[in-house]
């Protein structure tokens, strides 16, 4: 599929991955409409930090993904949808699961319904490696069973199956894109890498974390974004679920020590009980297969973990960026 002369809608454009996707699409010359969360501050999230020459080329639509009327309005005149809007913090899903059902399931339904009614050419729905739960085998391929180990992951499983049902029932050209643990500049402090980096850069020598033994497949955001675009460009991806993964793993403890050595070797990690997930909810191991994305697209991982983590640290070192993070509190 060619994306030239197509109107591309990115939902969740104000967020971490969404803002990087918008930026990359504009730099590659594509026409982008950014769906951002309406608020009285007229904030466009991370899009507000993009260079003016990039942002000036983006059409902004402010709305709420849970409102079907607003979503339908946003989708009018659109050819391709990258649907990234979601609630993603796992701890918050423990006490506010209704919000996750509304945003992740109903919000996805709104996008699918609008796309069906308005004849959108391709819809990429963003999933998460959390839908797999703790690995039953590795590397985790797309046939791995789904395990809802948190309300968050359960709603994403629901959104995935709903998306697949629209492909099967209505022949809607849907692809489910499943990134593993993406990190990089602009990521929320509710994720482990910004949590470690921001505490260290704030001068703390006791770094508070949750469980240290779980492993994760860590993917740099620029590789994630390239994965989305390559999946959109391929004619072989409609109706498929596709991982974006590095096919490697590192434990949270090893990750923390690596970052500590780069910033302040005197620091040490301590366990903060409030950051621990309930035992049966903790995802112990995520280690994804990337064979399918290599088979169906031209995607290749371009950034080594060492280069990616260094680039991420340098971004956080800028006072204008670090000042946006509250390092003294636990970001749920």
| Residue 331 pLDDT | 80
> Is cis: bond before 329, omega within 30 of 0?
no
DSSP for 289-307, written as a single string:
--HHHHHHS-------HHH
pTM listed for this prediction? 0.97
Question: Average pLDDT for residues 163-175, to the nearest whole number?
Answer: 98
Rounded distance between C-alpha atoms, residue 299 and residue 301, angstroms: 7
Residue 329 reports pLDDT greater than 90 = no
Tokens of residue 168, six digits? 């099967």
Interval 164-186 mean pLDDT: 98
Closest CA to 101 of 62, 18, 157: 157
Average pLDDT over the chain, rounded to an integer? 97
DSSP symbol at 104:
I
- The domain spans of the chain are 7-183+220-246+288-302
User: 7-183+220-246+288-302 has which CATH code?
Assistant: 3.40.50.720
Per-residue pLDDT for 126 more than 90? Answer: yes
Question: Model confidence over 195-233: pLDDT tens digits?
Answer: 999 999 999 999 999 999 999 999 999 999 999 999 999
Cα separation, 32 vs 23, whole angstroms: 9
Q: How many CA atoms lie within 13 A of 194 on its CB side?
A: 27
Give residue-wise pLDDT tens across range 135-147: 999 999 999 999 9
**Residue 327 pLDDT class (50, 70, 90 cuts):** confident
Residue 157 pLDDT class (50, 70, 90 cuts) = very high
> What letter does residue 30 receive in the DSSP assignment?
-
Q: How confident is the model at residue 319 (pLDDT cuts 50, 70, 90)?
A: very high
Q: What is the number of other CB atoms lying within 10 angstroms of the CB of residue 216? A: 22
Helix (H, G, I), strand (E, B) or coil at 322: helix
Q: What Rg value do the Cα atoms of the chain yield, rounded? A: 19
Report the pLDDT value the prediction gives residue 94, as an integer from 0 to 100: 97
What mean pLDDT do residues 55-80 have?
Answer: 98
pLDDT at 269 over 90: yes
pLDDT at residue 328, rounded to an integer: 82
d(CA 303, CA 183): 12
**Mean pLDDT value of segment 237-264:** 98
Report whether pLDDT(109) > 90.
yes
Residues of the chain with pLDDT > 90: what percent? 97
């Amino acid at each position: 599929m060619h994306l030239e002369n197509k109107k591309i809608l990115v939902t969740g454009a104000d967020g971490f991955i969404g803002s990087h996707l918008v930026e990359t699409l504009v730099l590659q010359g594509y026409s982008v409409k950014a769906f951002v969360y309406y608020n009285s501050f007229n904030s466009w999230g991370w899009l507000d930090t993009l260079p003016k020459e990039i942002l000036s080329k983006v059409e902004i639509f402010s709305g709420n993904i849970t409102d079907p009327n607003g979503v339908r309005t946003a989708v009018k005149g659109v050819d391709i949808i990258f649907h990234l809007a979601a609630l993603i913090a796992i701890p918050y899903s423990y006490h506010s699961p209704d919000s996750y059902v509304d945003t992740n399931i109903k919000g996805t339904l709104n996008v699918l319904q609008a796309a069906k009614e308005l004849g959108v050419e391709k819809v990429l729905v963003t999933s998460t490696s959390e839908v797999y739960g703790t690995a039953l085998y590795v590397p985790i391929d797309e046939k791995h069973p789904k395990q809802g180990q948190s309300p968050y992951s359960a709603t994403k499983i629901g959104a995935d199956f709903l998306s697949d049902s629209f492909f099967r029932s209505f022949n809607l050209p849907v692809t489910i894109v499943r990134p593993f643990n993406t990190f990089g500049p602009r990521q929320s402090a509710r994720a482990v890498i910004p949590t470690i980096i921001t505490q260290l850069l704030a001068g703390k020598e006791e770094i508070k974390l949750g469980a240290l033994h779980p492993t994760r497949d860590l993917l740099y955001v620029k590789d994630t974004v390239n994965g989305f675009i390559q999946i959109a460009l391929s004619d072989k991806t409609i109706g498929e679920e596709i991982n974006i993964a590095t096919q490697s793993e590192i434990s949270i403890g090893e990750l923390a020590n690596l970052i500590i050595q780069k910033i302040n070797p005197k620091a040490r990690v301590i366990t903060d009980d409030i950051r621990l997930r309930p035992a049966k909810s903790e995802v112990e191991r995520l280690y994804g297969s990337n064979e399918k994305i290599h088979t169906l697209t031209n995607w290749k991982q371009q950034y080594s973990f060492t280069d990616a983590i260094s680039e991420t640290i340098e971004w956080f070192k800028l006072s204008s960026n670090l000042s946006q993070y509250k390092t003294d509190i636990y970001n749920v």
